[in-house]
Structure 1
Amino acid sequence: MNKDVNTRPNLYKIGYSSDDRCCICEGDSETLEHLFFRCSYIGSVIGLISDWCGLIHTDINSMTGNNTTTGSRVQKQVYVLVLNAYYYQVWAQRNNATMNAILLMTARVFKLIKGDVKHHVKHKYKPVVDFRDEAWLKLLDLM
């Protein structure tokens, strides 16, 4: 899949970019692995998400329903919403840094992710919840 995505190494190969380094942290080569999981900037966003959701900071993929061993069906579905918003916002920030040389503060990116999730829970997803899930959603400020 990495061959088909316009990461900096691929853009560099076709002459669109001056180098293959991550446009966000300007450290390592911008692979999808680096961009979504290893970049220091992204690590700060993951930390904010982990603190918000009460998860260990090291692995955002632990939020996927298939990898989460505890939690209700609603919690697992909310984690999937969080992941989708995370991937969307990381890619949007990467594109903004690449095309416009603008990078939002990590707290702002986290606020956008939280807002996306809150919007989906309130207006699109509308889960049927029991009292435990309702309390959990209120704790995350999603209800």
Structure 2
Amino acid sequence: MAAKGKLRTRDKLVAIGVSSDCNCALCNQGTKDCHHLFFRCPFSKMVCHGLMQWLGIRSSGIERVYTQWKKWGRNHGSKRRQKIGYATLAAVVYEVWRARNSVVWNLKVPCREAAVRRIQRTVCSMVQHQVTSKWSREDIEWLEKLATEAN
């Protein structure tokens, strides 16, 4: 739903008359649409950059976070690493939406570093259960390095 812009973000709620405030709950800056919430908001940008660094995705200050994720997914040699990257991106969407709900319903902005750690641990836990003998030694070592950094 996030990728298709179908989440009930504030811009959508304003359009149907449910809300009058269309500012982002996390940063109170930009109009809160899906693209802002997940890739432009300072909270989500910091979370994304922390995870991109963890995965070894080169981050450019000029290029948008969303574009960097897409390029990395297309250009990565290992399908397993690519899938881990996409699993991480899905976890980012979940965690940012969770943070947004925390602000809206509890008036508490979560710690960005804690969000990064939670995503790292979740992804490692999910992926480590899927390792089989078909995995290359390089991919297993890469995953072990990620798991070590997540703890």
| TM-score computed with the length of structure 2 as normaliser | 0.80
Is the 1:21–1:29 Cα contact (8 Å) retained in structure 2? yes
Report the counterpart of residue 131 of structure 2 in structure 1.
126
% identity of equivalent residues: 26
Q: 1:101 to 1:26 in 2, by over 3 A?
A: same
Report the counterpart of residue 85 of structure 2 in structure 1.
79
One of 88, 97, 106 as aligned partner of 1:100: 106
- What is the DSSP-based 3-state SS (H/G/I as helix, E as strand, rest coil) of the residue aligned with 1:140? helix
In structure 2, C-alpha distance between the alignment counterparts of 1:18 and 1:115, rounded to whole Å:
37
One of 28, 31, 34 as aligned partner of 1:29: 31
One of 69, 80, 85 as aligned partner of 2:75: 69
Q: 1:60 to 1:140 in 2, by over 3 A?
A: farther
In structure 2, C-alpha distance between the alignment counterparts of 1:90 and 1:139, rounded to whole Å:
25
Letter in 1 for 2:93: Y
Report the counterpart of residue 49 of structure 1 in structure 2.
51
In structure 2, C-alpha distance between the alignment counterparts of 1:108 and 1:116, rounded to whole Å:
12
In structure 2, C-alpha distance between the alignment counterparts of 1:66 and 1:12, rounded to whole Å:
35
Structure 1 unaligned spans of 5+:
none
RMSD of the TM alignment (CA)?
A: 2.4
In structure 2, C-alpha distance between the alignment counterparts of 1:110 and 1:66, rounded to whole Å:
19
In structure 2, C-alpha distance between the alignment counterparts of 1:135 and 1:65, rounded to whole Å:
23
| TM-score computed with the length of structure 1 as normaliser | 0.84
- What is the DSSP-based 3-state SS (H/G/I as helix, E as strand, rest coil) of the residue aligned with 1:126? coil
* Further displaced range: 88-97 or 66-75: 66-75
Report the counterpart of residue 113 of structure 1 in structure 2.
119
In structure 2, C-alpha distance between the alignment counterparts of 1:67 and 1:114, rounded to whole Å:
18
In structure 1, C-alpha distance between the alignment counterparts of 2:142 and 2:128, rounded to whole Å:
14
Is the 1:89–1:113 Cα contact (8 Å) retained in structure 2? yes
Q: How many residues align?
A: 141
One of 7, 20, 23 as aligned partner of 2:22: 20
